[in-house]
Amino acid sequence: MIRDALIYLSGNTLARRVATHAPGARAMARRFVAGETVDDGIAAARALNKRGLKVSLDYLGESVSRREEAVAAADTYIRLIERIAAEKLDTNVSMKLTQMGQDIDHAFLRENVKRILDTAHSREIFVRFDMESSKYTQRTLDFFRELWAEGYRNIGVVLQSYLRRSEQDTLDMNGMGARVRLCKGAYQERDDVAFPGKPEVDGNFIRLMRLLVGSGNYPGIATHDEAMIRATLAFVRETKTDPSRFEFQMLYGVRRDLQHELHSQGYNLRVYVPYGEAWYPYLMRRMAERPANLFFIVNAVLAESPLAFLVRRNDKA
C-alpha cells in the first residue's frame, strides 16, 4: 500500500507542484539533494571538498525515451565536468545509462556517452555508470566491457550485493582491473534474482567487500550500515590493507556523523551528491522502489540528532 501510494505521488502533477513549492518539503529535499542546477551541484562539491571529503556528482534523471532529452542530459554532464576541472575539485561524476538513451538505441547511447567520456578523459575526470534494476544489469556490464575494450579506463561500474549474480560479476571486474562501487541495492526484485532477506544481502555484501578490498582496483564501499562498516574495518585491520587502496561512499545528507568519523580516522570518504530538477520524482521513486528507504531516511536523520548523540555517549561510558 505504501509503495503504491509513493508511485502514484511520484507521477502526480498536483503533488509535485505542491512539493516543489512548499518551503518545508523543499527544505527536506535539500537535505538529500544539493539543488537543481549545475551551480548548486558544484557549490555542494566545493563545500564538501573543503571538509576533506571526495565527491561524486549525479545529475538526476533516468528512463529517458526522447533523444533530445538524452542529448540535453549529456550536454549537462559535459558542462559539469568542465566546471569540475576548472575549479580543480576532487570530484567525479555518476550517471544512469537510461538517462543517456539506453532504452532508445544502442548506437545513439554509444555516441551520447562517448561525448561525455572523451570530455572527461581530456579533463582527467572519472565517470561511474550507476546500476539500475536487474533488467539492466547485463546490458550495463556489456556496454561497460565494450567501452573498456576500446581503451576507456576513466570508467567504473556499480555492483549490488542483493543480486545473486554479483559474486561472479565482482570476480570478472577484478580480473579486468575495473573500479567497482559496491552497494546493497534498492529495487524490487524476484527472489530467484535477488536475496530476499537482509541477513543474506549483508552476508553477500561482506563477501564481495572482501573480494574488492582484497583484490580490486580502488573500490568504493558504499554503505551507511554500521555493521557493514565494522566488517570492512575489521577486514582492513586483519589484512593490514592500506586505507589508500579503497574508499567508503555515502549519500549526501545521510549519516554525516559517520562521514566525519571515518574521515577523521584517516579513511577516504566520498559523498554521492545528486542534484537536478528531477529531485521530487527521484526521492519518491527511491522510496517507492523500497518503502524501507522512507524509514531509513528518517532513521538517518534521527541518528544525527542530539538525543542519539547522548545515547551513544552513554553507551560508551
Active-site residue numbers?
130, 181
Q: Which amino acid is at 187?
A: Y
Supply 218's cell numbers.
580502488
Helix (H, G, I), strand (E, B) or coil at 53: coil
**CA-to-CA distance for 7 and 263, rounded, in angstroms?**
36
Backbone torsion region of residue 206, taken as left when φ is above 0, otherwise alpha when ψ lies between -120 and 50, otherwise beta: alpha
- Polymer length in residues for the chain: 317
Residues 156, 142: Cα–Cα separation, whole Å = 13
Question: At residue 201, what is the residue type?
Answer: V
Helix-, strand-, coil-residue percentages of the chain, each rounded to 5: 60, 15, 25
Cα–Cα distance, 275 to 59 (Å, whole number): 5
- Please give the helix or strand (H or E) that residue 248 lies within, else none: strand 247-251
Q: Give the number of C-alpha atoms closer than 13 A to the C-alpha of residue 124, restricted to the C-beta side.
A: 6
For residues 206 and 185, is the Cβ–Cβ distance under 8 A? no
Cα 170 to Cα 211: distance, rounded to the nearest angstrom = 7
Q: Which residue shows C-alpha cell 545521510?
A: 254
